[in-house]
Structure 1
Amino acid sequence: MKKLLIIGASGHGKVIADTALKLNKWESISFLDDDENIKTTLGLKVVGKTSDVIKYIDVYDVIVGVGNNNIRGNLQKFLEDKGASIPVLIHPNSIIGEEVILGAGTVVMAGAVINCCSRIGKGCIVNTGSTIDHDNIIEDFVHISPGVHLAGTVKVGKGSWLGIGSIVSNNISIVSNCKIGAGAVIIKDIVETGTYVGMPARRVYS
């Protein structure tokens, strides 16, 4: 069994660790974190700072436990360049349909549902209780927050963030690097980067 190293010992990193513990696939689980005040999380040790990761790459699987899409993306790209083994974590209480593809570094949290023939890019977060229906395309480093619901044949562009409880109707495309506010309802394509809120959603910031 390999060891698992999680970069980030705060909120999102904790949930990744909790999922990893339930999977029971790793000999040990440890963290890297730049906050020197954090020594342990969930009883698991912080063994160094983010910059120390190069020392562990040969013997650990490494995953980025940072919620910010840009930071997570940059860290994962660094790991890829260094040849790190980057796992996919799927909570045992999630449901994954047939012919679903999940990219390296993606995590699927408890209660999430991904229906058949959807493609999830690398470094994505499919958070607690969210649902992704059939034939979705979720590009790299997207964050699907808790309780988000995507209907069939939705496309979400790279680096976008869908806030808690937001809803996307079927056959909708969302451009890269968008922020969708909590509870927003998307009923038409989003073709311009920005922040969108409301029911139906409207653009409020560039």
Structure 2
Amino acid sequence: MIIFGASGHAKVIIDIVKSTGQKSIDFILDDDRSIKSIADFEVKHEFEESMVSQDLVIAVGNNITRKKLANQITNNFCEALKHRTAVVSEDVVIEEGSVIMPNAIINSSVVIGKHCIINSGAVIEHDCELQDFVHISPGSTVTGNVKIGEGTQIGAGATVIPGVQIGRWATIGAGAVIINDIPDFAVVVGNPGKVIKFNKFENE
């Protein structure tokens, strides 16, 4: 498999792959030529013919960049990668390119889209639905029956109460407590969470 990206996020994905022993890393690829190696792997900077047939995971934390790369890359993407310490219910659906970090908990009947990040120690309770490119940051809790739109970031240590719907490309600040529905592109902070502004980008 190929890991695309040689950042700190890539180091955690390397640890996930090592923790399961089910896949081997063939290449680390990054366009930053100043990065020569990461976690004892050589970093390549040009796409080679031998890479075409390899499954690939995008190791980029920024949701916008991850979507742009996913739309450009022609390789097949890896099935979801789950650290061995993650607790994932048997009926959870996780689509390609998504990564589940150490000690995350994902309970029954959750659906997670493509290229999502469920970060270390995050909890996603029953019957939640996460669309593509969502990032659930470390230590955050998404309680039952929550729906989260494409590209939204839930900040570290944030809590989302049951039944809330959060729109597309929203940003929930670290430690926020979300008790009401949140519109697309909203930036929300505080307890209870309040919209303070709106993200100024579109991401199609």
**Contact 1:156–1:174 (8 Å) recurs in 2:** yes
**Counterpart check, 1:57 vs 2:49:** no
**Contact 1:19–1:90 (8 Å) recurs in 2:** yes
Instruction: Name the TM-score, length of structure 2 as normaliser.
Output: 0.92
Q: Larger deviation: 188-197 or 125-134?
A: 188-197
Please name the residue that 1:188 is paired with. 180
Structure 1: any 5+ residue segments left out of the alignment? none
Please name the residue that 2:6 is paired with. 9
Q: Match for 1:46 among 43, 48, 65?
A: 43
Superposition RMSD in Å:
1.4
Give the letter for the 1:108 counterpart. I
Moved >4 Å (runs of 4+): none
**Contact 1:17–1:29 (8 Å) recurs in 2:** no
Report the secondary structure of 2:55's partner residue.
strand
Would you say how many aligned residue pairs link Structure 1 and Structure 2? 198
Give the letter for the 1:139 counterpart. Q
Distance 2:186 2:28 in 1: 33
Report the secondary structure of 1:14's partner residue.
helix
Report the secondary structure of 2:91's partner residue.
coil
**Contact 1:166–1:184 (8 Å) recurs in 2:** yes
**Counterpart check, 1:113 vs 2:105:** yes
Report the secondary structure of 1:37's partner residue.
coil
Instruction: Name the TM-score, length of structure 1 as normaliser.
Output: 0.91
**Contact 1:5–1:31 (8 Å) recurs in 2:** yes
**Contact 2:149–2:168 (8 Å) recurs in 1:** yes
Q: Shift in Å at residue 29 of structure 1? A: 3.9
Distance 1:87 1:53 in 2: 22
Q: How high is the sequence identity, in percent, across the aligned residues?
A: 37
